[in-house]
Amino acid sequence: MTIDAFIDALPKVELHVHLVGSASVPTVLELSRRHPGSEVPSTEEELRRFYTFTDFPHFARVYGAVNALVREPEDVATLVLGLARDLAAQGARYAELQVTPYAHHVVGMPKREVTEALDLAARRSLDEHGVEMAYIFDIPGEFGEEAARVTVEHALQEPPAALVGFGIGGIEQERPKYRDAFRSAFAAARAAGLHSVPHGGEMSGPDTIWETIEGYGAERIGHGINCLADPRLVAHLRETQLPLDVCPTSNLRTGQVARIEEHPLPRLLEEGLYVTLNSDDPPMFATTLAGEYRVAADVFGLGKAELARLAANGVRASYLPEQRKRALLKEIDDLVAAQA
């Protein structure tokens, strides 16, 4: 079996992907035509140019423009089902989808309607595409205390049935000014039984990662690539095996690394850190989940056994029930054994 065929056959999970960022080009064009008058282009050629980012703040502005097209519960369900369809074609069985309730709040969507759309889409994703969908509610950090309040209220008062986690994304440099509000929101979410899965160390340094650990009780960290600047942090991550959800192409497209060959994924693995492989905002970054495995193989030279280990890491780090984890891990082991 060729490496490409192996990647296609490898059972995968996606642990770091955003609802709006998962929208395929045809889906975004459909939303743009459904809601005319936005700054999002309505032709494919213009949209692909729109997705050329100069830095992370520019990406955040473009993301916000696309996010503004999601105005009705039907739009939310359209995005979830589109992701399920795309993941099924790549051999993915399960995803933990990051949803930003604040974005739906500011366009006037009631919490209950958003939750009903997410519940319906999760059922249809499994029935129609064989992809089990779970949700993580995340705070857009640059919007501060109000965003924290809205996000945690939605998570506690009107949660979708498949809500498993609570996170925070956005521009990391804005977080210190809202430190207490964010810590309080995570404390409330964790007390309600939600897992803590914040972004950290994507566009800022080790201090942000330490804050996710000490202030938010992180159980997994989105990105975390800048941990390497702090040997004490690296040692802590190695000792605790706290998973890092790494998204190489995302880091390239938003300017966090200058060249894909300079991405720290190989060093993270050499340091013995717990890494999962993910796509983040795949159509915006011209990638896919399977494409990230191909980058790991083609650019970093990972072989079948190492790719299978990354896939297994994702399964173990997920919030799937243990029985489902065991079944997926057996599928991965059987595929590797067939290559011997």
Q: Which residues are catalytic?
A: 202
Q: How far apart are the first and last CA of the chain?
A: 11
Neighbours of 256 (CB within 10 A): 21
CA-based nearest residue to 95, from 130, 129, 135, 155: 135
Alpha helix locations (H) across the chain?
3-9, 25-34, 44-50, 56-67, 73-88, 101-106, 111-129, 144-157, 179-191, 206-214, 231-240, 248-253, 265-270, 289-298, 304-317, 322-338
Residue position matching structure tokens 């521009």:
171
DSSP 8-69: HHS-EEEEEEETGGG--HHHHHHHHHHSTTSSS-SSHHHHHHHT--SSHHHHHHHHHHHHTT
What is the signed CA dihedral for 278, 281, 282, 288, rounded to 10 degrees?
A: 10
Report residue 293 as tokens: 């495995």
Report residue 216 as tokens: 């938010």
Cα angle 184, 180, 182; round to 5: 55
**Cα 336 to Cα 11: distance, rounded to the nearest angstrom:** 11
Contact in structure between 8 and 308 (CB atoms under 8 Å): no
CA-based nearest residue to 317, from 246, 233, 230: 246
**Strands 244-246 and 221-223, sheet pairing:** parallel
**Cα 116 to Cα 187: distance, rounded to the nearest angstrom:** 26
